[in-house]
A and B are shown apart, each in its own frame.
Chain A
Amino acid sequence: MPNLHDIERRINSVSSTKQITRTMEMVAAAKIRRANERVQDATPYSESMVEMLADVAKRVGGSENALLRAHDEVKNVLVVVVVSDRGLAGGFNSNVLRHVDRLMRDRQAAGAAVKVVACGKKAVGYYTYRKVEPVLKFADLSADPTVEEASAIAALAIDGYVNGEIDEVVVVYNHAKNAAEQQLREERVLPVDASALEAGAATGEGSKLESDVIFEPSADAVLDRLLPAYVRTTLYHALIDSAAAEQGARRNAMMSATDNATEMVETLTRLYNRVRQGAITTEISEIVGGAAALEE
């Protein structure tokens, strides 16, 4: 029979944990709004960017831009891993890391070397522990990603790609489908898939620009400038999307933790009462037994 004191101590510990998880849940819920606002703020830019790029790419046609051309052989792959700085967000981080591991195994089996860019402390820790040195790492930014961070990654990726040191760039992150649901996404950043862009623009409201557009200085020059910016935008979008998803995932995880704690306190309280009642019953029967023995 468990000791009354022990049960009481466990009840206390579970309730204080519950207090923490409930607070974290509420904090995450408050942060979701801010993170979603940021995604919404950034959407007009990336939408206009995609639209413009699709338009230009269509006009320039079969451009020889280095960023559009796929390399014949994929020998070096750069994977941008976007996770959070903190844990306690359910499967948020492990889903991404597991997916990347699988991706790495596949690519390595195909004879390609894989380099990693780690965004978020959890990824930095994960790869350092596994003796994979990330080529670029960012910590303490997952809750508040900056354009500069995205620019740094984009600069590295573009440089490598143009110089032929990298043949493919992939970003893996959690997409915030809505406040309660996250979706793992793997996107190919480089080479830029021009046909997909055009298809995306075509299925949209169609090209807003008429057929004869003036390009200054020239269509090619505009494209040369737009593509790196597009890569940067894609990466920035992945970062803020992941930040929004992180808060959503944390709120979900904390909500279920709070629910579990409530249930546990209930079970423990019941056990506590049963044990206490048992102790009282034993005591009474002892007293009665003792009194009966005295009478005899």
Chain B
Amino acid sequence: MAGFMCDIVTPRARLVSEEATLVVVPGVEGEMGFLAGHAPLVSVLADGEVRMSAADGEVRRYALQGGYVEVGDGKVIILADRALPSADIDVAQVRERLAAIEAELATLSEQEAAKTTLPADKAWCDVQLKVAQAA
């Protein structure tokens, strides 16, 4: 099957750049899969899991939070706020972090909490756990 380049980029670094045959991303209106030669598309992504079938036949999974996908020109670029390969997710550590965040959130009122990055951190922990469980 024909392949195409798939990049996953976060503000911190370029996480992945490799040849893939199929990429499934969590769009805001449901999952979308891209094969080679897909029509140009730009979409907002929801938090969730990216599944990438690499050229070597292996399926790689990534946890993803907030971002965009741009398809075109034989290339899929995923811009994510945060992303992590599922193999790198340390479930115990994420659980611990989640507990800490929840404890901290409990001490704040809803309004105060909205000003911090805690809700986003919590969502990120949830996504990581979900992806780790699915893997």
Chains A and B form a bound pair: yes
Residues of chain A whose beta carbon lies under 8 Å from any beta carbon of chain B: 38, 41-42, 44-46, 48-49, 52, 55-56, 147-148, 150-152, 155, 208-210, 212-217, 221-222, 225-226, 229, 232-233, 236
B39 contacts the other chain (CB 8 A): yes
User: Which listed residue (B11, B27, B32, B42) contacts A55, Cβ 8 A?
Assistant: B42
B68 touches A212 (CB 8 A): no
Q: Do A213 and B72 form a contact, CB below 8 Å, given A49-B79, A55-B42, A225-B44?
A: yes
User: Which listed residue (B9, B32, B44, B115) contacts A45, Cβ 8 A?
Assistant: B9
Report the contact-size class of chain B (Cβ under 8 Å from the partner): 20 to 34
A1 smallest CB distance to B (angstroms): 63
Closest 8 CB pairs of A and B: A216-B43, A41-B13, A214-B41, A213-B40, A209-B72, A45-B9, A209-B40, A225-B44
User: Which listed residue (B12, B32, B79, B81) contacts A52, Cβ 8 A?
Assistant: B79
A217 to B13, CA, bound (A): 27
Instruction: Pick 28 A–B contacts, CB within 8 A, sort by A.
Output: A41-B13, A41-B14, A42-B13, A44-B9, A44-B14, A45-B9, A45-B14, A45-B79, A48-B9, A48-B70, A48-B77, A48-B79, A49-B79, A52-B68, A56-B42, A148-B117, A150-B11, A151-B120, A209-B72, A213-B40, A213-B42, A213-B72, A214-B40, A221-B44, A222-B42, A222-B43, A229-B68, A233-B11
A252 to B45, CA, bound (A): 44
Residues of A within 8 A of B39 (CB): 212, 214
A151 to B66, CA, bound (A): 13
A38 to B7, CA, bound (A): 18
A184 to B80, CA, bound (A): 30
- Interface on chain A toward B: helix, strand, loop, or mixed SS? helix
A147 to B124, CA, bound (A): 14
A167 to B11, CA, bound (A): 27
B73 touches A147 (CB 8 A): no
- Interface on chain B toward A: helix, strand, loop, or mixed SS? strand
B40 touches A212 (CB 8 A): yes
B73 smallest CB distance to A (angstroms): 5
B28 touches A216 (CB 8 A): yes
Residues of chain B whose beta carbon lies under 8 Å from any beta carbon of chain A: 7, 9-14, 27-29, 32, 39-44, 68, 70, 72-73, 77, 79, 81, 115, 117, 120
B72 touches A208 (CB 8 A): yes
Residues of A within 8 A of B115 (CB): 155
B62 smallest CB distance to A (angstroms): 15
Residues of B within 8 A of A148 (CB): 117
Residues of B within 8 A of A212 (CB): 39-40
Residues of B within 8 A of A150 (CB): 11
Q: Do A217 and B44 form a contact, CB below 8 Å, given A41-B13, A42-B12, A52-B68?
A: yes
A217 to B12, CA, bound (A): 27
A151 to B11, CA, bound (A): 11
User: Which listed residue (B11, B40, B43, B44) contacts A147, Cβ 8 A?
Assistant: B11
Q: Do A217 and B29 form a contact, CB below 8 Å, given A48-B79, A225-B44?
A: yes
